Structure 1
Amino acid sequence: MATERQLRDRQQRNLLGELNEKTGRAVGAMSFVICCLLLLSGCQGQQSLDPRTAAEQGDAEAQNNLGIMYTLGDGVEQDFGQAAECFRRAAEQGYAEAQNNLGVSYRDGKGVEKDYHQAVNWFRKAAEQGLPKAQFNLGIMYTNGNGVRKDYAQAAEWFRSGAQHGNPESQTYLGIFYRDGMGVEKDTAQATEWIRKAARQNLPLAQHNLGFMYATGNGVEQDDAEAVKWYRKAAELGNAEAQNNLAMCYHNGKGVEQDLSLAAKWLREAAEQDLISAQFNLGYMYAEGEGVEQDLKRAAEWYRKAAEQGNQAAKQALENLEKSR
């Protein structure tokens, strides 16, 4: 049966893009995109009975575990409707993990009709019981104004609750709020402290943000080598923004010896995750023959991918490329 960490590793994707697609500078207004971050609470302990048998007997923990099995198709056919029903039975008994999971079901419209108000209701029940994942999820709802009025101060308080319980996602967002003065007074020292705590827990989002802080000298002494160190950690865990930034470090020889072939390698990793800036940059590498053999056809392909996502620089580069043929 999948553990909580395995579930988080399977479901978690990048939450926050930190670079402006055109300039590579820090985004002022953050985009909180919770792509696939279910943050489901994993199976707890060992059941002496078959989970279905124990669930039918009203065991809330078993009901929650069975719901996760239906969510993942682990030992049973995947069925989000059955998962949501299992979560509901356990949630109505006050089981915090199931309340959080039912909130996720409502938030994402998995097995039930999407309903942000219901999601907030169940997240709040679990958060008030002290479940860090639910505290984070509730903070995100306040951040985005989903099911509640947008309120950065309330979001910050819930992130603080989760952060103090060691939740790395909450630590990262609390750090970002301190860095940008969202819902709290701007405090770069607090920002660095919380983001570093999460980075040390191997959260790629935090590692990328810490790398960016070292690259820009925001809250820490500027240090290109430290930036590369943290970008690399996040890049190796699949963070597209970090892969793009690491590539640019190799391209420009900042914090690391210049290596155009490695720059192209990391750009390709990020571009294949549909990161617009990486697609544009990889197109440029092919157009100029930097780190790869010059290939105008491939350059056009990558410029086009970025242009189709609205990147104006890529549109112009594609037009120029087609005129030159």
Structure 2
Amino acid sequence: MSHRTYLYNINTPSVAENADTMMMEWGYEMPLMLQPLLIEGGFISGNNYNNFIAGSNSGLYYDAKPGVENLKRFYNFLENQPELIENIEKFKAARDKLFSYLDELDGRYFHLDMWDVLNMEDRSHAKQAKDWLATIAHNNQVITMAMDAEDASLLNYKVLKDVTSAFNTFSKLLNYEDYDYGWTCISQPDEEEPTFEIFEENELWGLKGKDGAVLLNPYYDEFFNFGPQDLAVVSKTGKYGYLNITGNVAIPLTWDDAFDFEESGVAVVILQGKTGLINTKGSLVTELIYDDLKSIEYGEYFNAKIGERWGMINASGKICIAFEHENEIQAGYAFYHIAVSGQKNQKIFNEFFKYLGEFPISAIENLEDGFLFIKPFKGVKGYSIYKKDGMLLDNGFDLVVRKPAGEGFAYAFKEDKIYTVSETNISLSDKAITLEHTGDDYAYHFDYKTRKKLLTYGKGQIMTDQQIDDQLSHVYTTFELAEQAFMKEDYATAIYFYTIGSEKGHLPSMNNLAHIYYINKGFEDEDKAYFWYRKGALTGNKDSMNGLGMCYKYGIGCQVDLEKTLYWLHKAAEAQLALANNNLGDIYADEGFLHFNLDKALEHFLAAANLGEPKYNWLGYLYDLKEEYEKALEYYQSGANKGHEIATYNLAVLHSHGLGTDKNIEVAIAYFKLAVTRGYEPAHIELARIHRNEEGFKDENKVETHLKEARAAELEIPEDLLTKKKGWFDF
């Protein structure tokens, strides 16, 4: 079965209208390139075209106008990132077609219908729809951050949620040839399939087939359209029956009146003033005892009238609501209501036809699994919860709200406590879970006041309004505030905001918080450094893996454990972290280390260099030891060009000895002097040696000057430079 996703431009949620435009029919997902259309006003209601399960709303709706503006902004942003786009002319053509198409739409909402995709899981459609609402909000946050920063690198494919696994980078998705920069996602109008034609001649009606051939010559007085069971109502001389699509009589014309068949497979018929239901074979499903029958819920149920009283039957004729009501029964969202003459309150039945009482329609709200809650209304202060058997579960709550998937399906608030409502009971909520539900991934689910209640309950402590505001701020906001404070060396404030992000599970915040505790004077806390590095490492953050490895190397918040050091540094190195490779290189290059191995050291230093963080002097030194002097010279030269004083010194040594290059004392002197300027005092020794020994450069005054500088730097003077030459005088 092919699972499809549909996007419509519509005016009325949950009501199919001729003016609706199907914009997209796509497989398994909501294409990322069109997700910027779904930026504002997101809510869930019944689908316009797929909502066969009562009370399982799963249609997503968004305001159209801001969505179009946001998508145009997104495409204009992409155009300004030429490094992303492989075929700019094709991109512009697709963009122009897309903009022109969107400008022609006039519906108020974009409606995303993922019914087929949601059928792939056992979880309810309503729960999955909430997840998709959050996913699209998350992806748009990532896209908006990139647009705000004018930085395409922020379109990190690994951060985006529920995008096609056929690609591993945003750039590859964007430039996929068959995608046509998003234009392919828009449904192109197909040629209309030929249909049956009901035609008229001489005030009589007949039927033509899809090929235009006459299936039935004009004969009937009335001929209505074919319904969902491929049956059409026809009449002749005041009697009604049904034809099939071949033009043959399917149900004889014996009824005084007849109506279209419903999705449920039954139709309303009338004979001698009484009404009943028949099936597609024309057999009576109910006796002809009703004075009126009106379809509810696609013909699954019917308003039925006997005498002056209304009740409800289902498609098999079973009585669902007794015939004792003055007015017709109306369908609400997972409940039914009946007006009471002279009163504002109405009689309320749940979706299982259990009577709850008389309440205002505006006070009724569906929870899940047949549970309803009644909001406060005139004369009633608290919230009440009713079970699917119609019995009151509990009342007197300050607030009742639906909760995300997991244990229970609602939160009920009473004073300073929060309870979780499940099908079997009401119990105190787990504080850790309520804290989780204050996070950014659930911001769409609760309003701000509710999040405040969840936060203070989860924290179990009194908090100032400012602390609450900070805790509920989006993690990207708190992270940015932390980064700004860190740059200003305001580490206390940085810790405050990094901690908020860390507690929300934000991995960069965890790593940076651990770093402050690890290294910043006055704020060191070895236990906290270890805690946050470990927490981040266990969730797969490569920077935290590296930090945890260094904790084990130096015993920061834990016992020194070199095996664990290697384990975590290797994990970070496998995740392509240059710093971890350099740290491994340092360990394997250390002669005092049990795992001393210069080949492995070189392997990791090279890996770090390939990742953009070379340690030029180590690379040069290791090739120097291997007597591969040309490579050593290359890395020393790169290090010298970057201002590294030791690499500059070693470069001078190779030039002075002609290793990897021709011997050139002038060049060697220049680099030794540069090393001194950069603060590497041992270069004085080599300069003294050159001016003592090299022909054409001998100069005892310079020898003495450099030895004096070496002594001032408390360097040990080599024996060969202490030996006096013939002709020296010792005064």
With structure 2 as the length reference, what TM-score do the two structures score?
0.32
Instruction: Supply the AA of the counterpart residue of 1:234.
Output: G
- The alpha-carbon distance between structure 1 residues 131 and 303, as it changes in their structure 2 partners (threshold 3 A), is same
Uncovered stretches (5+) of structure 1, i.e. residues with no partner: 1-43
Contact 2:676 2:684 in 1 (8 A): yes
Alpha-carbon distance between aligned partners in 2 of 1:104 and 1:56, rounded to the nearest angstrom: 21
Instruction: Supply the AA of the counterpart residue of 2:518.
Output: R
Contact 2:637 2:651 in 1 (8 A): yes
Instruction: Supply the AA of the counterpart residue of 1:277.
Output: P
Contact 1:286 1:292 in 2 (8 A): yes
Q: 1:165 aligns with which of 575, 578, 597?
A: 575
Contact 1:178 1:188 in 2 (8 A): yes
Partner of 1:17: none
Q: CA deviation at 1:268?
A: 4.0
Alpha-carbon distance between aligned partners in 1 of 2:708 and 2:147, rounded to the nearest angstrom: 53
- Structure with more helix by fraction: 1
Q: 2:512 aligns with which of 97, 101, 119?
A: 101
Partner of 2:647: 242
Deviations 1:281-325 (A, max 9, x none): 456667889979854685256314531xxx4338x979x9xx979
1:267 aligns with 2:672: yes
Alignment of 1:166-185 (within 5 A): 166-178=576-588
Contact 2:606 2:614 in 1 (8 A): no
RMSD: 3.8
Give the greater-gyration-radius structure (CA): 2
Partner of 2:497: 86
Partner of 1:194: 604
Partner of 2:663: 258
- Structure with more strand by fraction: 2
Q: CA deviation at 1:58?
A: 1.7
* Percentage of pairs with the same residue: 21
Q: CA deviation at 1:101?
A: 0.8
Instruction: Supply the AA of the counterpart residue of 1:212.
Output: Y
1:227 aligns with 2:632: yes
- The alpha-carbon distance between structure 1 residues 47 and 81, as it changes in their structure 2 partners (threshold 3 A), is farther
Instruction: Supply the AA of the counterpart residue of 1:99.
Output: M
Contact 2:589 2:597 in 1 (8 A): yes
Contact 2:688 2:702 in 1 (8 A): no
1:211 aligns with 2:620: yes
- The alpha-carbon distance between structure 1 residues 96 and 81, as it changes in their structure 2 partners (threshold 3 A), is same
Instruction: Supply the AA of the counterpart residue of 2:486.
Output: T
Instruction: Supply the AA of the counterpart residue of 2:602.
Output: T
Contact 2:617 2:636 in 1 (8 A): yes
Alpha-carbon distance between aligned partners in 1 of 2:479 and 2:472, rounded to the nearest angstrom: 13
Contact 1:135 1:161 in 2 (8 A): yes
Partner of 1:20: none
Instruction: Supply the AA of the counterpart residue of 2:717.
Output: A
Partner of 1:128: 538
Deviations 1:154-212 (A, max 9, x none): 1111110111111112112324444558888566554433322212234232x322222
1:302 aligns with 2:709: yes
- The alpha-carbon distance between structure 1 residues 306 and 202, as it changes in their structure 2 partners (threshold 3 A), is farther
Instruction: Supply the AA of the counterpart residue of 1:306.
Output: A
Give aligned pairs, total: 263
Contact 1:204 1:235 in 2 (8 A): no
SS of aligned partner of 2:504: coil
Contact 1:154 1:183 in 2 (8 A): no
Q: 2:477 aligns with which of 48, 62, 76?
A: 62
Contact 2:576 2:611 in 1 (8 A): no
- The alpha-carbon distance between structure 1 residues 67 and 304, as it changes in their structure 2 partners (threshold 3 A), is farther
Deviations 1:264-291 (A, max 9, x none): 3433444445445346545666788997
Alpha-carbon distance between aligned partners in 2 of 1:268 and 1:288, rounded to the nearest angstrom: 17
SS of aligned partner of 1:203: coil
RCO higher in structure (CA 8 A, sep ≥6): 1
